[in-house]
């Protein structure tokens, strides 16, 4: 498995992308329309938000994915196309506009939107920009990544190279996500492409299995968005024998590649949370089972009090135990241990459920780094889990105080 220097959705054979400013967003310096296209029909799978309030694009995408195939993804930023009376009609017309420009059937186009909820999305700028969007298709994953950003401060992408049956395969992805990010499913918008050949049924199984330990374990602010979608296209152009057996070695390699991509994007999304200054990675070990390990990791990473402490580089480990206590997990508190770790070092702060002497100065140094590991040992078993989040800062309130206006 090799991580490529140039990442994104065009790393795999037969995929082109582009992103432009078409006029949905007032700021002309920001791209607001993105397109990803496979040269051939691809196996396709997606997972969606669990929020009962869902964006219209999700309904249309689900319908278009009933046959497990797709060839293009169109996505706009600046408007979520959610809670609008004409939302589904607009999403369907977005797919039709894209299909006409590409010479495809509309059912082979998947649709996504992100941005403000409850404002009607006009098709005019999308229709006006479609020709330029399609004409500019090429090795432009960066432009597509920029086209799906809202409050993100950095583009998020990765690509890996791996081997299946002697054939070199590639997989790459882009993501957007900064606010309204909370399990479960998914974490704003993620688009992944690969030139590996895999059946639609197994592709869906791979994605739904992977997200349980990746995108379902990320939280920025505790708000599950209405438009969360993770989409995966596999066009088979690498030439490997199609993967149809989930017990095969090829499927295991495919899962490893997918997990490498998704974990990388999870970390980028968490680290770029709205107003965030630090990436928090909570690693729980010694749990009774995976369910309990996940409950603890999620609870800690979601605690506003703990997140605020991390912003202030305050080793307030009591907030970690507090979050464990209300997590609902089966835990013997008298066995819990907590330590903080970063590139500045490691400091143990709690052992057997009680505080121990530690240097506040060293702890401050450890917690002043941009990436912090929260190490929790439960002493109840052998299960483990990892969750990702970020600190809670003044800027989070500033960003969301006037997000709509």
CA distance 339 to 286: 14
d(CA 266, CA 304): 19
Catalytic site residue from 49, 114, 150, 187: 187
Q: What are phi and psi of 372, to 5 degrees?
A: -125, 135
Say how far apart CA 195 and CA 226 lie, in whole Å. 30
Q: Which residues have CB under 8 Å from 31's CB, separation 6+?
A: 19, 20, 21, 77, 143, 146, 147, 149
187 has catalytic annotation: yes
Range list of H helices, 229-326: 249-271, 290-302, 304-311, 318-325
CB atoms within 10 A of CB 278: 23
87-102 and 56-64 helices cross at what angle (nearest 10)? 50
Which element (helix H / strand E) includes 284? strand 279-287
CA 82/CA 227 separation, integer angstroms: 8
Under a CB-based contact definition with an 8 Å cutoff, are residues 130 and 102 in contact?
A: no
Tokens coding 180: 């309204």
Using DSSP, how many helices (H) and how many strands (E) does the chain show? 11, 15
Active site residues: 187
């Amino acid at each position: 498995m090799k991580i490529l220097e140039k990442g994104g959705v065009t790393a795999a054979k037969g995929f082109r992308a582009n992103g432009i400013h078409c006029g949905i967003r007032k700021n002309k310096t920001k791209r607001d329309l993105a397109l990803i296209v496979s040269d051939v029909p691809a196996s396709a799978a997606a997972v969606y938000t669990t929020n009962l309030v869902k964006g219209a694009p999700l309904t249309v995408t689900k319908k278009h994915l009933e046959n497990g195939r797709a060839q293009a993804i169109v996505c706009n930023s600046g408007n979520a196309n959610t809670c609008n009376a004409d939302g589904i009609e607009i999403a369907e017309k977005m797919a039709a506009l894209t299909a006409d420009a590409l010479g495809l059937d509309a059912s082979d186009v998947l649709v996504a939107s992100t941005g403000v909820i409850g404002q009607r999305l006009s098709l005019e700028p999308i229709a006006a920009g479609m020709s330029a969007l399609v004409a500019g298709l090429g090795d432009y994953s960066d432009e597509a990544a920029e086209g799906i950003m809202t409050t993100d401060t950095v583009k998020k992408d990765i690509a890996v190279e791996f081997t299946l049956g002697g054939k070199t395969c590639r997989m790459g992805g882009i993501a957007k996500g900064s606010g309204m990010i909370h399990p479960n499913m998914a974490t704003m918008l993620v688009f992944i492409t690969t030139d590996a050949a895999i059946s639609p049924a197994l592709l869906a199984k791979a994605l739904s299995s992977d997200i349980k330990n990746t995108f379902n374990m990320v939280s920025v602010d505790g708000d599950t968005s209405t438009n969360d979608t993770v989409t995966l296209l596999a066009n088979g152009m690498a030439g490997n024998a199609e993967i149809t057996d989930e017990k095969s070695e090829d499927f295991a390699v495919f899962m490893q590649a997918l997990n490498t991509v998704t974990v990388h994007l999870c970390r980028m999304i968490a680290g770029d949370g709205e107003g965030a200054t630090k990436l928090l990675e909570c690693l729980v070990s010694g749990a009774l089972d995976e369910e309990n390990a996940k409950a603890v990791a999620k609870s800690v990473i979601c605690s506003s009090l703990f997140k605020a402490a991390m912003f202030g580089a305050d080793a307030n480990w009591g907030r970690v135990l507090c979050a464990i206590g209300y997590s609902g997990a089966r835990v013997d508190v008298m066995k819990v241990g907590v330590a903080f770790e970063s590139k500045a070092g490691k400091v143990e702060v709690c052992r057997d459920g009680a505080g121990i002497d530690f240097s506040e100065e060293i702890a401050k140094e450890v917690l002043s780094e941009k990436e912090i590991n929260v190490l929790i040992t439960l002493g109840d078993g052998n299960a483990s889990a990892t969750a990702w989040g970020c600190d809670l800062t003044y800027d989070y309130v500033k960003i969301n105080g006037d997000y709509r206006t």
